[in-house]
Structure 1
Amino acid sequence: MPNSRNLLIVGTGNVANALARRFSTTDHVVHIGSRDAGRGAKAADRRGIKGGLAADLVQHAEVVFIAVPFTALDDTLEALGSLEGKVVVDCTNPLTDDYMALTLGHTTSAGEVCQAKLPGVPVVKAFNAIFADVVDSDPTYGGIRPQVFLAGDDTEAKETVAELVRAINYDPVDSGAMLSARYLEPLAELIIQMAYVQGEGTRITPVILRSDA
């Protein structure tokens, strides 16, 4: 597996479990971790991969996915310790408890907050605007592949994440610098509104279509 990377997915919720399932079908080595070793191990067992305490697994990871509620970001990063030399993927959205609104916007974003907490570590915003149900159940869309929007200030780190997106047969869309997380997080809220308020369900997903003319 010459292109294999060590991936650590931090979290045990729907997003983390969906990412673990999809990436476990690739040549990449996938672990799932939590601040609670038992919860991490249980989530990993369901996916047939290894897991446990995230702080014990992080040293070998090349790419670390933060797939926890935004309110748990501080505690999660503190528990992980140094992330120097790794690419961090921020999957969080700053949502209210009922998911019906954002708690940040206009002048900052969860992605920018995450990057500020990790100076010197490349952070890429990704997988925040695609439902876990889409990633986990892999529905079809008439030949159109789901897209994963990326934002970040480090071009090489974004390409690393783009390669991972392609490995699960999705299309990466470079949305620009981390500043664009201010727009990707409202996009996530839009599809939440469409799924739950408009009744579209959680297998909808946004795509950018480019004209061939």
Structure 2
Amino acid sequence: MNVAIIGTGKMGSGFARLLASQGVEVIIGGRDAIKAAQLAQEVGGGTRGTDIASAAKSAELIILAVYYQKLDEAIRAAGNLTGKVLIDISNPITEDFKDLLIGHRTSAAEEIQKLAPDAKVVKAYNTIFAQLLPAESREGREPVQVFVAADDYEAKRAVSDLVTKGGFEAVDAGPLSNARFLEPIGEMNIHFGFFLGWGTSAAPSWKKA
């Protein structure tokens, strides 16, 4: 399995370190290819860094680790995404992190599917903070759940396997349209974490009775 990570911020670098530590072949794509290459060198484990188009072309799975407002630009920069699995981790939130920009009738994930109609979009990881990506940050606690929503079965299974490989608990969250519900949960988690004093170890979980 090889994974491209588009973005060099906290989430992008966190995913790169986590997956590389698990033996996953990682390539980081950034608007600034030099910055992506520098991050790849820091991550080690054979990780490579390059521009967005080159990273996307060489990967089976692509994690879109950029802000919602930058997704359009990133997808256009990626080029031909036919058959690629796009993992949308975003929450479509305002700049002050206090509200959603879209919701109820659509979602960030569904908007990505419109932008890349020949790709297989999967919603995942939008309810966890970057600080929970390192495996050591989750030691001594119950497995942190990652909700996975998609219309394509094989794409959902591939992403669920990636989630599990990183030490998280993959939870089947139904079709891609359920991202309309997952994204408000992600925003609520931001409120718990930043505005209600829970900190960045906060993460939602669903329990069967």
Equivalent residue letter for 1:83:
L
Q: Tell me what 2:82 maps to.
A: 84
- Contact 1:17/1:43 (8 A) holds in 2: yes
Paired letter, 2:98: M
Partner of 2:208: 210
Following superposition, the deviation at residue 142 of structure 1 comes to: 4.5
Q: Tell me, which stretches of 5 or more residues in structure 1 are unaligned? A: none
> Which of 167, 189, 192 is the aligned partner of 2:190?
192
**Cα distance in 2, alignment partners of residues 140 and 67 from structure 1:** 21
Q: CA offset at residue 143 of structure 1? A: 4.4
Residue 185 of structure 2 aligns to which amino acid in structure 1? L
SS in 1 for 2:192: helix
In the alignment, which residue of structure 1 is the partner of 2:39? Answer: 43
| AA matched with 1:8 | A
TM normalised by structure 1 equals: 0.93
CA offset digits 1:112-146 (Å, max 9, x no partner): 10111111211000111111101136423644101
Q: Which residue of 2 aligns with 1:30?
A: 26
Instruction: Please give the secondary structure, in 1, of the residue aligned with 2:137.
Output: coil
1:45-77 CA deviation, whole Å, 9 max, x = no partner? 221221121212222200011010111111101
CA separation of 1:138 and 1:109: change in aligned 2, threshold 3 A: farther
- Look up the match of 1:201: 199
> What's the counterpart of residue 133 of structure 2?
135
Structure 2 residue runs without a partner (length 5+): none
CA distance in 2, matches of 1:177, 1:169: 23
Change (3 A) 1:143 1:136: closer
Match of 1:8 in 2: 4
Q: How many residues are matched?
A: 207
1:66 is matched with 64
* TM value normalised by structure 2: 0.94
Contact 2:106 2:180 in 1 (8 A): yes
Q: 4+ runs of 1 displaced by more than 6 Å?
A: none
Equivalent runs, 1:62-211 vs 2, <5 Å? 62-136=60-134, 138-140=136-138, 142-211=140-209
Maintained 8 Å contact 2:135/2:166: no
